[in-house]
Structure 1
Amino acid sequence: MTRTRTDVLVVGGGPVGLAAALHARRAGHDVVVVDRRAGVIDKACGEGLLPGALAAVLDLGVDPPGHPLAGISYRDATRHADHPFAAGPGRGVRRTALHAALRERALAEGVVVEHATLRTLTQDARGVDVTLDPHDDATPDQGDGTRVVRADWVLGCDGLHSTVRRLAGLDAPARGRARFGLRTHYRVAPWTDLVEVHWAPHAEAYVTPVAPDVVGVAVLTHRDASRNAGRDARAGLDAFPGLADRVRDVPVLGRVRGAGPLRQRARRRTAGRVRLVGDASGYVDALTGEGVRVGLAQAQAAVRHLDDAAAYERAWARATRDYRVLTAGLLAWAGSPARRAIVPAASAAPWLYGAVVERLAR
């Protein structure tokens, strides 16, 4: 077993983890990013960067390819409500394209990115020791390549089912009914430059143009999407007959990906020298499409307040407040008999609908 050290160890090499690594590197720290997945990482998500999220990505020096997004459209079987972004367009970006661009930038700035699996985490007043295995199927007692990394700080950016959160003793039981997501790409020219949110009695479908010839469709529902991931490309679209007809004969790109349960809770965002960032720090739902923006804001705040846990907790609360309040409120409305009134209300009160969209797009 070998031993190495670094200033900041980021566990989780997705967009939020890479953003945190970039901020830490620019603050003068040596940074290592580890992820159990190798290469460019994909995941089930809506893939729409709203204007605020796009600005944050561009501020990192990254300009991923994609398709302009002019606004958001809420739709049901009979009506729709459209609102264009006042601040200019967002961008639909395939998760693989976003990850590849951030990874390239991180490597160019001296971040070390490794393929390894976190096994153990212990800490004292001066640092954190983590045990890493270089392969997904390795176990610590094999001793083949296993090493201990001593880090001044550990940033847990490892997603909904965070190992860092669990090992740091920060897991909290989720509340409410579980929700799941399923994402599919279709080889078709986008028929709109809006993010379409289709509402059905028990599910929502998000249509996001991500390239001149690719559209992503993400379905959110209470049904466990993981059972269909990689198999049924049109799973969940039975609730949206109009959308299902539009993509019925369209080629499917790649595998279908599922995610969930979406709701996750953490007791705190900090434990000693460990910080939770992004989905690992707690997640309400993907309903409002704010995950990337909120995660990037947390990444910046975590690095700014590495040495002050209370300051990071306060910054985390500020960065996530709108997301938590709006998403929880919309979920409560969507889970009640008033769900069928969401699109009619948006259509009847465009000023209110527009105000909500603009708050989300910041």
Structure 2
Amino acid sequence: MSGTADGVRDADVVVVGAGPVGLAAAVHARAAGLEVLLVDRRAGTLDKACGEGLLPGALRAVQALGVDPPGHPLSGISYRAPGRHADHRFAAGPGRGVRRTALHAALGERAAAVGAPLVHGRVVALRQDAGGVEVEVVPGVGAAGSDEGRVPLTLRAGWVLGCDGLHSTVRRLAGLDAGTRPGAGRAARHRYGLRRHFAVAPWSDLVEVHWSRYAEAYVTPVSAGVVGVALLGPRAVSGAGFDALLHAQFPELSARLAAAPGTGRLLGAGPLRRRSRRRSAGRVRLVGDASGYVDALTGEGVRVGLAQADAAVRHLADADAYERSWRAVTRDYRALTTGLLAWASSPVRGAIVPTAARAPWLYGAVVERLAR
């Protein structure tokens, strides 16, 4: 399979990145009657360091794609600090804690079923002209090591959707990367995440967000016998051992998990902050984390990414319309996450949980906004 310079296309749309957002974009494109190729350097079921909670709006969006991944019901969110907590249960029904591997497998099966084949390889170049985009791919699973001996594959498409995450190659090749720094002299705001699972029965049907002096721990039940714990915080989080950080910053949670064996791999991510100059460049569109990311504080990544995937396909031929739609579907996420992050990075960080406990109406309104 190869593209040519005479206008013949291998697909209407090449989707780079076969994570949940890329798979959703492929499903939407096929529903619109477009021929699709997915490109990803990874093979098999993909995992990611994330909180794994699908809030009610995200769960509805996943189900609307024709999949219903297994998991554990989530009834609400609990903000917790020693001696204080604020709980709110979702008004419109539960969300679901879903292992990222289960979500990816379900969406992957759906994309394959609707006719979106996957090409394994690493994107190394993009070239655009008036008639389309050429994507140069070094074939093979992995992308580690030398490319020597691998003959590049050129795919020609009408459009390219960059759904390849925080460290997006498409964003860089399209000249849309605006870096990671929120502003000069503020590199201390760079944040990172670690996640692992514990073989223990969930003790709550709420997502617990534990706040310490400088980090947060997200506890998400993902099955009847497993909970996931994600630690978020400044650069020190990525350098500290998971158990040491958990014990130092969250002693009560550490004690609860002391007898629970860890299961699966420890995964990390970061820096979380990513910016793009725009979401479009010619026939290239950025979608999901590749288009820009503030932080994981509010747990909205999947919902926002799926909404962007839908918008990108609906406005494929109109960059300005996609830009407007992107701003609309990310507005609440950007505003709420930026505001909470600023509060969490300030000297009054310790007031977050007490304020939520004293003003349950305000806390509930914020949670319901996230849950939509």
Q: TM-score, normalised by structure 1?
A: 0.96
Is residue 2:57 matched to residue 1:55?
no
Q: How does 1:179-190 map to 2 (within 5 A)?
A: 179-190=191-202
1:314 aligned counterpart, secondary structure: helix
Partner of 1:234: 243
- The answer to whether the 8 A contact 2:294-2:338 is kept is yes
Instruction: List per-residue Cα deviations over 1:266-315 (Å, max 9, x = no partner).
Output: 00000000000000000000000000000000000000000000000000
The alpha carbon displacement at 1:138 in A equals 6.7
Instruction: List per-residue Cα deviations over 1:206-261 (Å, max 9, x = no partner).
Output: 00000000000000010255546xxx452521200000011112111111000000
Give unpaired runs (5+ residues) of structure 2. Answer: 4-8
Find 1:37's aligned residue among 25, 38, 42: 42
1:236 aligned counterpart, secondary structure: helix
1:146 partner letter: P
Partner of 2:6: none
Is residue 2:81 matched to residue 1:86?
no
- The answer to whether the 8 A contact 2:61-2:303 is kept is yes
Find 1:354's aligned residue among 359, 364, 368: 364
- The answer to whether the 8 A contact 1:225-1:258 is kept is no
Instruction: List per-residue Cα deviations over 1:32-65 (Å, max 9, x = no partner).
Output: 1111111110000000000000000000000000
Partner of 2:105: 100
Find 2:123's aligned residue among 112, 118, 127: 118
Q: What CA distance in whole angstroms lies between the structure 1 residues aligned with 2:102 and 2:178?
A: 33
Find 1:220's aligned residue among 229, 232, 245: 232
Q: How does 1:141-156 map to 2 (within 5 A)?
A: 142=148, 144-156=150-162
Instruction: List per-residue Cα deviations over 1:149-197 (Å, max 9, x = no partner).
Output: 0011000000001000000000003214200000010000000000000
Q: Call closer, same or farther: CA 1:235–1:45 in 2, change over 3 Å.
A: farther
Question: Number of matched residues?
Answer: 358
Report % sequence identity.
Answer: 68
The alpha carbon displacement at 1:144 in A equals 2.8
- The answer to whether the 8 A contact 1:2-1:146 is kept is no
Q: What CA distance in whole angstroms lies between the structure 1 residues aligned with 2:244 and 2:106?
A: 30
Q: What CA distance in whole angstroms lies between the structure 1 residues aligned with 2:271 and 2:122?
A: 22
Partner of 1:76: 81
The alpha carbon displacement at 1:114 in A equals 2.1
Q: What CA distance in whole angstroms lies between the structure 1 residues aligned with 2:236 and 2:83?
A: 28
- The answer to whether the 8 A contact 2:273-2:295 is kept is yes
Q: What CA distance in whole angstroms lies between the structure 2 residues aligned with 1:33 and 1:102?
A: 13
- The answer to whether the 8 A contact 2:2-2:10 is kept is no
Q: TM-score, normalised by structure 2?
A: 0.94
Q: What CA distance in whole angstroms lies between the structure 1 residues aligned with 2:171 and 2:237?
A: 23
Q: Call closer, same or farther: CA 1:227–1:35 in 2, change over 3 Å.
A: farther
Partner of 2:23: 18
Q: What CA distance in whole angstroms lies between the structure 2 residues aligned with 1:138 and 1:148?
A: 21
Give unpaired runs (5+ residues) of structure 1. Answer: none
